[in-house]
Amino acid sequence: MAKKEKEIDVRFSKFGTVSFTSTTKVNDFMDRLEQGKVSGNRCKDCGKVYFPPRADCHNCLGNNMEWFDVTGKGRLVTFSKLEYAPVGFENDIPYSIALLDFGDYKVFGRLAGDIPENEIKVGMEMKVVRNELPNGQLNYVFQKA
């Protein structure tokens, strides 16, 4: 009897400059990102909202999750410009990491590289957009709303 090869779902290896996690239980995130959607998820049992998406709800320990798209405007909570980068990200510097507040959840990510520094202000409204990197990898960035 031939041993059946285990199927490995590596969709997440396409995420970001360097993907440290190629396999997750929330790989549908990548299909949605390919379609231009940046997604979090929500527990259908208790309503807890997650970004990044989680396979299981730590609030009620259920796994009855549904996707939602990050849309509309978030407020810039904080940001930091990186002049030094972790291994694998050396060619990306300088870039700015940031946190947007959407009310029920927050989204951590990067500021789009084409925003003039003097226009970046804590409290400003921003939106999340899918971004394709030069090597074909995908991520998302924050742009002025």
Residue 57 within binding range of Zn ion, rule CB under 5 A: yes
Q: Give the residue from 32, 36, 67, 31 showing the smallest Cα distance to 49.
A: 67
**Window of 15-23, 55-63, 77-85, 92-100 that interacts with Zn ion by CB under 5 A:** 55-63
What minimum distance in Å lies between the beta carbon of 45 and Zn ion?
A: 5
From start to end of the chain, where are the E strands? 39-43, 49-50, 65-69, 74-82, 95-101, 106-111, 125-132, 138-144
What minimum distance in Å lies between the beta carbon of 105 and Zn ion?
A: 14
Residue 43 within binding range of Zn ion, rule CB under 5 A: yes
**Window of 10-18, 26-34, 53-61, 135-143 that interacts with Zn ion by CB under 5 A:** 53-61
Please, which residue, 44 or 73, has the CB nearer to Zn ion?
A: 44
Q: Give the residue from 116, 114, 106 showing the smallest Cα distance to 131.
A: 114
Residue 55 within binding range of Zn ion, rule CB under 5 A: no
What minimum distance in Å lies between the beta carbon of 58 and Zn ion?
A: 8
Residue 46 within binding range of Zn ion, rule CB under 5 A: yes
Count of residues interacting with Zn ion (CB under 5 A) = 8
**86-114 b/e (C-beta count within 10 Å ≥ 16 → b):** eeeeeebeebbebbbebeebebebbbbee
DSSP 8-state secondary structure symbol assigned to residue 15: B
Binding site for Zn ion (CB under 5 A): 43, 45-46, 48, 57, 59-60, 62
